[in-house]
Amino acid sequence: MGSLLSFCRRNANSIEQPIEKAAESTSKPVYSWDKRPKLDPKDYMVDGLQDGVAMKAPGSVNGNQFIIQNCQRSKIYVFDHTSQVTIDDCIDCQIILGPNNTSVFFRDCQSCDVVVACQQFRTRDCRQLNCFLVCATKPIIESSTAMKFSCYSLNYAELSQQFQASGLNIFTNYWFNVHDFTPLPEDKNWSLIPMEKTVPGVFTFPDDVPVKIDAANYTVPYTVGEQRRTNEGSCLLVFASTLNKPAEQAHRVIQQLRKTNLVLIQTGEFRMTSFDAPRIFESATFQRVATQGCVIGLEYNGVDCISLCENALQSLNLFPNDNVYVSSSRQSAEKEVDQFFALADAQMAV
């Protein structure tokens, strides 16, 4: 009898178990995206603003897409990093966009001042835009006229962190290398903004702006573009990754050279191979360290350029230094600048 009862219990258990498993298997799975907070599209859009001010504080956009459209005579300031941004049908506006590692596209806009840091910048059917840019690729204009460009010249406390969050490189900036898909036969659809015009001088900020604008310092190195290179001579400075905090050291040198009459033509950062380094640098020692990681290059231009660059490095205890390269002569500098930035351009195209 006992054997019969134990047999029945075992069989009862074996029957109940599959029922429990079946019940468990019907429960709805929970995925990671189900736990994400629901976003309201209205929080990531400025639509139809007339004679008004719209501002987004740091942390309010947090890398999401953003749309601006149908605005007139307004100030629209997005002080946060974003994803893809489109701006349509805006007239007589001032627009600031935080760092963006994808694309910013202006369409059917006119008479606007814009500040943009992005991977790709495009305009179509636009007129009279003043563009202050950081752009990791060549800015593209199409069916656009009276366009003007300058280097990004805005700074506030949270900006450096936003560049890091977006993944944009402040030393890779092709703002002056504009590609026009619809060029004129005997004229240009774009030109450079005068150097004396910078963002703090062009833009007017309301008292309740959510960031503290720093007009004295720039997070992004302020470059003047290849078009402003003179025959007074250039100098190539290159900082190897083996240098302690190379980006910070490059910034220190830039700050030091702002005290001189030299101008910073262009900057670049990329990874160099053992094949490329001997083609550019005379120093065998620097050829070796240049291939250990990314290098940061600065082209300066002006009277006594090389000696002033050496003096600036010496004042910061960076010269002589096996991890910093300085052109040795005006003749070698010309070749080094051409080859260094040709390599940077080639890596941009990859």
Q: What is the per-residue pLDDT for 347?
A: 86
Q: How confident is the model at residue 187 (pLDDT cuts 50, 70, 90)?
A: very high
What's the average model confidence in pLDDT over 217-228?
A: 96
Average pLDDT of 79-86?
97
What is the full DSSP assignment across 151-182? E----BTTHHHHHHHHT--TT---TT--EESS
- Judge whether 57 and 208 are in contact, CB under 8 Å: no
Q: Rounded CA gap, 39 and 90, in Å?
A: 25
pLDDT tens for residues 305-324? Answer: 999 999 999 999 999 999 99
- In angstroms, what is the C-alpha Rg of the chain? 28
pLDDT in tens, 46-56: 999 999 999 99
Chain segment 257-311, per-residue pLDDT in tens: 999 999 999 999 999 999 999 999 999 999 999 999 999 999 999 999 999 999 9
Token couple for 229:
């290179």
Residue 54: how many CB atoms within 10 A of its CB?
Answer: 17
Q: Residue 237: which pLDDT band, with cuts at 50, 70 and 90?
A: very high
| Average pLDDT score over the chain | 91
Please give the single-letter amino acid code of residue 20: E
**Cβ atoms 265, 229 nearer than 8 A:** yes
The span from the CA of 318 to the CA of 182, in Å, is 46
DSSP state for residue 38 in the 8-state scheme:
P
Longest dimension (CA), the chain: 111
> Under a CB-based contact definition with an 8 Å cutoff, are residues 133 and 112 in contact?
no
Residue 189 has pLDDT above 80, yes or no: yes
Are residues 313 and 319 in contact, defined by beta-carbon separation less than 8 angstroms?
yes
pTM above 0.95, yes or no: no
Could you count the other beta carbons within 10 Å of the beta carbon of residue 181? 13
For residues 246 and 240, the answer to whether their CB atoms sit within 8 Å is: yes
pLDDT at 328 over 70: yes
The answer, yes or no, to whether residue 5 has pLDDT greater than 80, is no
Distances in whole angstroms, Cα of residue 55 to Cα of each of 83, 97, 220: 17, 10, 22
What pLDDT shows up at residue 10? 47
